[in-house]
Amino acid sequence: MKICRHITALFAVAVVALSSCSKVEPKEVVFEEKEKTILLYFASHNNLYADAASNIKKIVNGYVPDDGNIVLYCNNFDLDSKQMKDTLPLLVNVCKDKSGSVKIDTIYRFPYINSCTKNQMKSVLNITKTICPAKEYGLVLWSHGTGWLPVGYYKLNPSSTSSVMPSSAISEADAQSRRQASLSGNRPLFPEPPGGVDPYAHMVKSFGSELKTEMSIFDIQEAIGDTHFDFIALDACLMGGIEVLYQLKDCCDYIISSPAEILTDSFPYDKVIQRMFNEDYTGVAKDFYDYYNALSGEYRSATISTVKCSELEAVAAEARKLFDKYRGGIPSLDITAVQRYFRYNDHWFYDFKDYLDVLCGKSETVALGEALKKAVLAKYTTGLMITLVIDPAKFSGLSSYINNPEEEPLTAFYQKYAWNDAVGMIVGE
């Protein structure tokens, strides 16, 4: 494998001749357009850096297309020791040259900039499109993640691998009130972890956390801007929610994500990269499932789905009919009867279809089920997520929040999502 490192100029540079004052006209740098570029955005300057290094090693030693770019945004890793060599992020391109040899180029070095900001993500996307232009683009977001939740709503002990997905729209005081809010009213409590510490925290990686800075779904949407991806894979916990997918549906054609947690082994990148280049996105989900299903004990834990974004409008239209008719029954709903995707008392992620089955009755959700069949192209579960039992018969491949009127800050935040605008689960006053 040929390995070289250099910094590629983004713009033409004027060269001044050493003799006399004559100038050499700048030569325009032309970057070769390829069929497809996949950017893997590793926001890993946190407690997941060793796992990121392990994943990156699989990528650089795996499948490399003849007419494509694999671009890694990551910290500078020693792939053998799985340690960070420094904290400065890089853009690394893995591709084949004209002779067919694999080369690994460091194509851009950033000064220290926090990876978990919309401005940095936007910068990375723009530089990637400039240096590695392609007819199609794919995006993998790799880091911590807690679905659609705002800041503070999924905070565990500092040693946990779980993180938060914040927004400045909610105050820290409001966020801290979430537990107190759930202690009142008629909603049942789920058990807290023993001593307040999740004993399985080392196994899961719950997008983005760096030096207490994190990104919201709205930040990601804004960073992507008018870039359209063939697919987006969300390699982070709890990102397979209908709220997240609907918010990002105009950014890409397909989304691959998990409604529950994802273990730190992440996607089997030695297999799925080739499927991503071949546009076999249902195959990506199948490879993910097969990898975890072959493990034993708590490590045999997986949920995954592939969603066709153009079909989500039809899902929303059917859901709107149901919420308009049965919205009044949500506050008194027996949530213990609904398949959940969270462990302990972080009670904000339930199966989307099962939620509406319980709320409305299965005879009322037939049309919704048909719309989901067209939207969810593949869905797999091992039936377990560590200690949580997942009934395959209730597994729709998508999660949803069930509104708890007693959590007023969360209710206000949820109404900012396009999904709520489309279906009216929560109706503002």
Predicted confidence (pLDDT) per residue in 350-406, tens digit: 999 999 999 999 999 999 999 999 999 999 999 999 999 999 999 999 999 999 888
CA dist 306 and 296 (Å) reads: 24
Q: Residue 410 class from Cβ within 10 Å (0-12 exposed, 13-18 middle, 19+ buried)?
A: buried
Q: Tally helices (H) and strands (E) across the chain.
A: 13, 16
CA dist 27 and 24 (Å) reads: 9
CA dist 185 and 29 (Å) reads: 64
Q: What is the DSSP letter of 141?
A: E
Interior angle at CA 67, CA 115 and CA 269, nearest 5: 50
* Model confidence pLDDT, tens digit, residues 257-316: 999 999 989 999 999 999 999 999 999 999 999 999 999 999 999 999 999 999 999 999
Helix, strand, or coil here: 409? Answer: helix
Radius of gyration of the chain (CA): 23
The C-alpha torsion from 263 through 289 and 217 to 407, rounded to 10°, is -70
Residue 18: other Cβ atoms inside 10 A: 5
Per-residue pLDDT at 74 exceeds 50: yes
Question: Which residue reads 């697919």 in tokens?
Answer: 231
**Residue 4 one-letter amino acid:** C
In this prediction, residue 410 has a pLDDT band, given cuts at 50, 70 and 90, of confident
CB-based contact 58:159 (threshold 8 Å): no
Helical packing angle, 118-131 and 217-224, nearest 10°? 30
In this prediction, residue 18 has a pLDDT band, given cuts at 50, 70 and 90, of very low
25 vs 223: which has the higher pLDDT: 223
Q: Residues of 182-206 as b/e, b for ≥16 C-beta within 10 angstroms?
A: beeeebeeeeebeeeebebbebbbb
| Nearest Cα to Cα of residue 41 among 229, 202, 172 | 229
Tokens of 256: 């691959």
Instruction: Answer positive or negative: Cα dihedral of 255, 258, 263, 268.
Output: negative
To which H or E segment does residue 92 belong?
Answer: strand 83-96
CA distances from 16 to 7, 8, 19 (A): 21, 20, 9
Query: Global pTM?
Result: 0.85
